[in-house]
Structure 1
Amino acid sequence: MTDYFDTYVVVAALIVIGGAIVAGALVANRLLRPHRPTDEKLTTYECGVDPVGQGWAQSYVRYYVFAYLYVVFAVDAVFLFPWATIFAAPGYGMTTLAEMFIFLGFLATGLLYAGKKGVLSWV
């Protein structure tokens, strides 16, 4: 039973040592960096142009939807690769084929739904 808890002691020690290294690096950075704030350094930087107006601006939710759809449909490669590697293994052929077609059906349904809602139009 002691061997079982010894592994947790090693993990806890590594976490403590890692935390100490990160904390030490942050403290060293705080002590060694120059600190000379000026008004020019504290202004908002916008590609070399002086900032005009308020710092708040609206952004379209549509861009987040594009990013979300990209992530959803790019992650399917994580599932397609193992399927392709195990497909030729004996005893897994028809089962994995059926499961993958169900998975691709869900993805196609999501893509059709997004297209019907007009999410995929770039206008």
Structure 2
Amino acid sequence: MQSDQLNYLPILMQFLLAVGFVVGTIIVSGKLGPKRNSEIKDKNFECGVESVGNARIPFSVKYFLVAILFVLFDVEVIFLYPWAINFKELGMEGMVKMVIFMLLLLVGFFYIIKKKALVWE
């Protein structure tokens, strides 16, 4: 049991080092960085064009829906990669589980199509 826990020690150390580096960088940059604010520095600047009007205009919820569906199906496709790498070792049981997983993906996809979530009107 003890040796199993020691196997995770490098992962824990790397995680703590990464978090420590991020927190340290934020603290040091906040302490050492310049603090001269002005009206010009606080203005939004994009592509060399001055902002005109209010940037907070409403836009269609369809964009959010498409983005969420993309992330959902993209993450599900990522689960296919370990299966493809270990295809031979998993045998028939792994194949059956992946077929069930793919069928669930297809059911979700056809549900989205039936609800016309991707139809732009």
Asked if these proteins are the same fold (TM beyond 0.5), I'd say yes
Aligned to 1:109: 107
% same residue? 35
Shift of 1:52: 2.5
Compared with structure 1, are the counterparts of its residues 31 and 111 closer, same or farther at alpha carbon in structure 2 (3 Å cutoff)? same
Instruction: Report SS of the residue matched to 1:119.
Output: coil
* C-alpha RMSD over aligned residues: 3.2
In structure 2, stretches of 5+ residues that fail to align are 7-11
Instruction: State how far apart, in whole Å, the 2-side matches of 1:121 and 1:26 are.
Output: 44
Compared with structure 1, are the counterparts of its residues 106 and 32 closer, same or farther at alpha carbon in structure 2 (3 Å cutoff)? same
Matches within 5 A, 1:1-123: 15=16, 19=20, 22-89=22-89, 92-122=90-120
Of structures 1 and 2, the one with the larger relative CO (CA 8 A, separation 6+) is: 2
Instruction: State how far apart, in whole Å, the 2-side matches of 1:24 and 1:79 are.
Output: 34
Instruction: Report SS of the residue matched to 2:102.
Output: helix
Q: Which amino acid aligns with 2:45?
A: Y
Shift of 1:104: 0.7
Instruction: State how far apart, in whole Å, the 1-side matches of 2:24 and 2:93 are.
Output: 53
Shift of 1:55: 4.0
Number of residue pairs matched by the alignment = 111
Aligned to 2:9: none
Compared with structure 1, are the counterparts of its residues 80 and 22 closer, same or farther at alpha carbon in structure 2 (3 Å cutoff)? closer
Shift of 1:15: 4.5
Instruction: Report SS of the residue matched to 1:39.
Output: coil
Q: Which amino acid aligns with 2:64?
A: Y
Which whole-Å deviations, capped at 9, do the CAs of 1:77-117 have from their partners, x for residues lacking one? 3322222333323xx43222221111111101111111122
Q: Which amino acid aligns with 2:87?
A: F
